[in-house]
Structure 1
Amino acid sequence: MGRVAVTGGTGTLGRTAVCALRAAGHDVVVMSRRTAPGLATADLLTGAGVEAAFTGADVVLHLATSRGTADRWQTQTVVDAVRETGGTARVVYTSIVGVDKVPSSYYRTKLRCEDLLHASGLRCAVVRVTQFHEFLGDFFASQRFSPVLLTPDVPVQPVHVRDAAAALVRVVSDDAVGRLPDVAGPQVLDGRTAARAYRDARGWHRPVLPVRLPGRAFRAYGAGHLCSPDAAVVDGVTFSGWLREQLGSAALT
C-alpha cells in the first residue's frame, strides 16, 4: 500500500477516513494547522509545511474545506505543492453532489475547485458526496428549544460518514482519475420524514413544520439536486440507523 497525505484529516470525514486508510494498510500523513503528536503541521492558506507533508506521497486526499474564497485558495496550494514535490502524486478531491446545479456561492466555489484540479495537468480524481447524517442531525438539534421542528421541504439523501470514508479508501487504492461516481446515502428522504425520524428518536412531542423559501438555490434543492439516487451506497447506514447509533432510540425505518 502507498503513502497518503490527508488534508482536513482531523475533521468529521477526515478522522474516519484516516482510520479506514490505516486499516487498509496505507501509510497515512495527517495534516493539520495544529501542532500535536501524530500530525504533520501544515497550513493550506499560507502554504507553510505543505510541501514537506506531501513529500513521498503517492496520493493526496484533499478533504479540507472552508467557506468563501479560502476553499479555492487551499486547493490551489495543494496543486502547487504537488507540482513542487514532483507532480507524481494523484490528488483525490471530495466535492458535493449538486455543485454544478445549485446556484449558491459555496457550491460555486466547490465547482471552481473541481475545475482547477481538472485543468491542473495533475492526475486528479473528483468524488462528489451527499451531505452527512451529522448535517441533518445538527440542524434539527439546533432547534431543541423550539416549540416546532422546522425542516426544509426538499428531498435529501444523507450518507453515513463511515460509508463515505469506505468509498474514498477504494478510490485511493485504485488508480482512477477524472470525475468518479458520486457517493450517496442509501435512501432519498423528504424533509418531513427526516424531521419526524429525528423528533421520534429524541422522544420529542412537537409538530413538524415544512418550510419552503424563495430563491433559485431553494428551487434547486426542491428539484432534488442534493441527491444522486443512482449512486446510493448499497447496504449503507440509513438516517434512522444513524439515529439509533447516536441516540440509542428507535426511529422511523
Structure 2
Amino acid sequence: MRRKIAVAGGTGVLGRHVVEVAGKRGYDAVTLAHSTGVDLVTGTGLDGVLDDVEAVVDVTSIQTQSARASEKFYGAVTSNLLQAEKAAGVGHHVALSIVGADKAPYGYYAGKVLQERLVTESDVPWSLVRATQFHEFAGQIMERLRYGRFVIVPQMRSQPVAASEVAGRLIDLVDVGPSGRVADFGGPREENAVDMVRALRAATGTRVWILPVPFPGALGRALRDGTLVAGSDADHGTQTYADWLRSRA
C-alpha cells in the first residue's frame, strides 16, 4: 500500500514539483488547494481530508509585500493546518521558509517568521527548511513590477535554486521523518537580480526597459547586503540559473 501525504499549495510553482517528486518516490499525494475544494485560510474542506495522511508538506504562498497581509495569510493557513493535523493524528508537518527571513522580518517575510514560530511551537512533530528564491523569481519580478514598457528591478543579491531540487529536499524530509530545523538550501551560485531579469529578457525576447532601483529602508538593505543569500553552512542545489534558462528554451 502506497504511503499518503498531503501537499498544501500543491498547484503552485513549487507545489507541482512536490506532488511530482512525491509520486516518483512512491507516495500518494493529496493536493490541498482551492481547486480541490480546500480553503486553507478559512479551513473549509479540511475535515476528513487528512485521514491516513502521514505527513503534510506546506508550500503555500501569497503575492503581497504587506507585512499585515502576509501575517494574516500565514497565521491562518498554518494554524488551520496544524489544528487539522493534530485532530487527524498526522505525525509530521514539513514547512518551507525563506533564507534570512528572521533577519529581515519586513513585508512578505514577516508572515514567514510567524509561520516558523507557529510550527516550532506546535505539538505536531515538524521539519523546517529555509530555501533561497527559485529560478522563476526573475519572471515574477517582470510580471509584478512591470509598468507598461518598464520593469522595476530591486538591486538585490540572490542565489536562485531550482524548484524541483527544493521539492526533492522536502520529500527527503518526509522520508526521514521529523527533523526539526535543517540546513538552509540555496542555489549553486550567487546572482544579481538585475542580471537575472536581463538574461530572461534576452531569452524570451521581451521588449522592456529595465530600471534597477535600490529599495528603501531595512528591507532594501537586506536585499543588497546578502541577508537573503545562503551561508557557508548551507546545502546547495546543482542547476544554475543559466542552465534553467537553457532548459526552458
TM-score (norm 1): 0.85
Which residue is equivalent to 2:39? 43
1:80 aligns with 2:76: no
Give the superposition deviation at 1:225.
Answer: 1.4
Indicate conservation of the 8 Å contact 2:5/2:53, yes or no.
Answer: yes
Larger Rg: 1
Give the superposition deviation at 1:95.
Answer: 1.1
Indicate conservation of the 8 Å contact 2:188/2:240, yes or no.
Answer: yes
Q: Which deviates more, 206-215 or 25-34?
A: 206-215
Query: Cα–Cα, structure 1 residues 117 and 149, in superposed 2: closer, same or farther, change >3 Å?
Result: closer
Give the superposition deviation at 1:82.
Answer: 1.2
Question: Secondary structure in 2 aligned to 1:21?
Answer: helix
User: Of 60, 80, 83, which aligns to 1:64?
Assistant: 60
Indicate conservation of the 8 Å contact 2:92/2:127, yes or no.
Answer: yes
Indicate conservation of the 8 Å contact 1:130/1:185, yes or no.
Answer: yes
Matches within 5 A, 1:162-201: 162-201=164-203
Indicate conservation of the 8 Å contact 1:163/1:233, yes or no.
Answer: no
Which residue is equivalent to 2:99? 97
Question: Secondary structure in 1 aligned to 2:94?
Answer: strand
Indicate conservation of the 8 Å contact 2:130/2:184, yes or no.
Answer: yes
Query: Cα–Cα, structure 1 residues 70 and 208, in superposed 2: closer, same or farther, change >3 Å?
Result: closer
State the identity %: 32
Q: How many aligned residue pairs are there?
A: 239
Give the superposition deviation at 1:217.
Answer: 0.6
Indicate conservation of the 8 Å contact 1:72/1:110, yes or no.
Answer: no
Give the superposition deviation at 1:204.
Answer: 6.4
Indicate conservation of the 8 Å contact 2:185/2:237, yes or no.
Answer: no
Query: Cα–Cα, structure 1 residues 105 and 211, in superposed 2: closer, same or farther, change >3 Å?
Result: closer
Give the superposition deviation at 1:133.
Answer: 1.4
State the one-letter code of the partner of 2:8. Answer: T
Q: Which deviates more, 149-158 or 137-146?
A: 137-146
Matches within 5 A, 1:122-133: 122-133=124-135
Query: Cα–Cα, structure 1 residues 205 and 7, in superposed 2: closer, same or farther, change >3 Å?
Result: closer
Poorly superposed stretches of 4+, deviation over 6 Å: 204-207
CA-atom RMSD, angstroms?
2.2
Query: Cα–Cα, structure 1 residues 73 and 244, in superposed 2: closer, same or farther, change >3 Å?
Result: same
Indicate conservation of the 8 Å contact 1:90/1:123, yes or no.
Answer: yes
Give the Cα separation in 1 of the matches to 2:237 and 2:13.
Answer: 22
TM-score (norm 2): 0.86
Give the superposition deviation at 1:245.
Answer: 2.3
Matches within 5 A, 1:149-164: 150-164=152-166
Residues 156-178 of structure 1 deviation map (CA, whole Å, 9 limit, x = unaligned): 11111111111111111111421
Question: Secondary structure in 1 aligned to 2:52?
Answer: coil
State the one-letter code of the partner of 2:217. Answer: G
Give the Cα separation in 1 of the matches to 2:180 and 2:196.
Answer: 33
Give the superposition deviation at 1:149.
Answer: 5.6
In structure 1, stretches of 5+ residues that fail to align are 249-253
Indicate conservation of the 8 Å contact 1:12/1:161, yes or no.
Answer: yes
In structure 2, stretches of 5+ residues that fail to align are none
Indicate conservation of the 8 Å contact 2:129/2:183, yes or no.
Answer: yes
Residues 27-53 of structure 1 deviation map (CA, whole Å, 9 limit, x = unaligned): 21112222xxxx4x3222222221311
